[in-house]
Amino acid sequence: MTHAAEPANDRRHPVLTLAGYFFEGLVLLVFAPLLPFAPRYARHTLRTMGTIAIRAIDLPEQISTARQHSDRDATRVDEMTASLRERVQADDWSGVSKLLADVDTSRERLTHSDERLIDLALDFLRTELGEVVGGPNMCNFDYYFLIPDSMLARIEAASRARPDDPWLTALLAQVHIDRGWCARGGGWSHEVTEEGWHGLMNSFHTAYALLQRFDVEELRSPMYARVMFQLLATADAGNGLDQAREAYQNWSDLDVGNPLPHRIYAFFALPRWFGSWPSFDAEARAAAERTRHTLGKAAYAMFYLEAFEYDECDALHNLDVPTFIEALDELIRRDIDPVSQAVRAAVLLGEITEPEPVTLIGELIDLKANRKRDALRPMIRYIFETFVTHLPTEEGSEFEGRVLDQLVAVYAKELKAGLTPRFTADGMRLVPRGAPA
């Protein structure tokens, strides 16, 4: 006897059926939040497929011919460093001190950069007295130098002969700070030996005692303030942020417009040091308010540009995007060399907003940061097309490669369509390849 086949759906197990519905619902629940990011993944895929072809395109000669740099700056720095080297080799420490005092008290800066000559002079002296062995890293915002005992003895003898010389005193304190970091090493705190901590603390105590000879506010020396600021690395966690804020305000008041105090204080205000993310944002806003008459809101951008270098995702989570965009615009416009500032900002923004493929869970966890990445990405085009009239060469070939990478990433579609960048007095423009100038 032949039986008619029963409908398959009548034979489904009720538990398995419910499990299937649950799984389908789970898939929808997980993937639904990612729908807004489909264009982001599409951009990444298109760029990945086309990057080799795009990078093979020869960018027009006008990119290289439009590069500019300041011969005056290079000559001034070369003259200063040559003079410092001659005086160190001749043991002319009074001459070293005089040169430091001149560029410190004058607040002289480069023609095409906000960099101060005193900062360049101090860093050059450190390379001349020893050799760089580490930094910057997550534990130290600066490089540190191994300065041998023989050189330390020479500077100590010079300082004893000139006890009323604040610039030699600050230089000697800087040597002890560098030697302290060498004793500690560049590892995380749990990796530092007891001997390393002992060496760091001894060197920092010596530097602190030296710097007590003079009052930084009466002296009005940015160099002295910078060296003193470094001692905060051993401040107590409980009041470290308060001490850092006071030292930062003293230093930035002594050298208005110098971005270095803002950057270094931002480093110490990070959660890895004395701050938290809520306090970091509060400090950034307070700095912008405090310097609004000279910098507008630019300090807010300075703080977060520094934070992006160390804690990109957490910084994005806490970033006020509209305030940052306004502050970054002011930072670029107020810079003595807006083109270089603009290019550095565009490269960093491009690198932190780069659409990369991530795991499903990672995408969900990073949802807020990714929304802010997408909100910031149009700023890169705005910067190139508003401020970048040429490609500066001061940063070197490695940085130049990063700039070209961002041009390729941001303008991938236009480059594939046959357009090419052209730098004008009004910013970068995209024109057909081969178009007359």
> Under the phi-then-psi rule, with left for phi > 0, alpha for psi from -120 to 50, and beta for the rest, what region is 7?
beta
Q: So what's the pLDDT on residue 403? A: 85
The CA distances from residue 126 to 100, 117, 261, 289, in Å, are 13, 14, 19, 35
Q: So what's the pLDDT on residue 429? A: 92
Question: Which DSSP state fits 57?
Answer: S
Let me know: does 255 contact 216? Beta carbons within 8 Å: no
* SS3 category, 419: strand
Which of 178, 164, 162, 177 has its CA nearest to residue 213?
164
Radius of gyration of the chain (CA): 28
Whether pTM exceeds 0.85: no
Q: So what's the pLDDT on residue 205? A: 97
Omega of the bond leading into 355 within 30 degrees of 0 (cis): no
Q: So what's the pLDDT on residue 187? A: 84
Beta-carbon count within 10 A of 254 CB = 21
Beta-carbon count within 10 A of 332 CB = 24
Interval 321-357: pLDDT, tens: 999 999 999 999 998 889 889 999 999 999 998 865 5
Q: So what's the pLDDT on residue 53? A: 37
Looking at the DSSP bridge assignments, the partners of residue 432 are 419
Q: What class has domain 69-234?
A: mainly alpha
DSSP 223-262: HHHHHHHGGGGGS-TTTHHHHHHHHHHHHHHHTTT-HHHH
Query: In this structure, what token pair is assigned to residue 324?
Result: 């940052």
Q: So what's the pLDDT on residue 179? A: 96
Query: In this structure, what token pair is assigned to residue 297?
Result: 């809101």
- The structural domains of the chain, with segments of one domain joined by +, span 69-234
Our CA dihedral for 290, 292, 294, 296, rounded to 10 degrees, sits at 140
At residue 390's C-alpha, the angle toward residues 385 and 393, to 5°, is 135
Q: So what's the pLDDT on residue 70? A: 58
Straight-line distance from the first to the last Cα atom of the chain, in angstroms, rounded to the nearest whole number: 91
Spans of the chain below 70 pLDDT: 1-70, 355-365, 393-398
Cα–Cα distance measured from residue 67 to residue 177, given in angstroms and rounded to the nearest whole number: 39
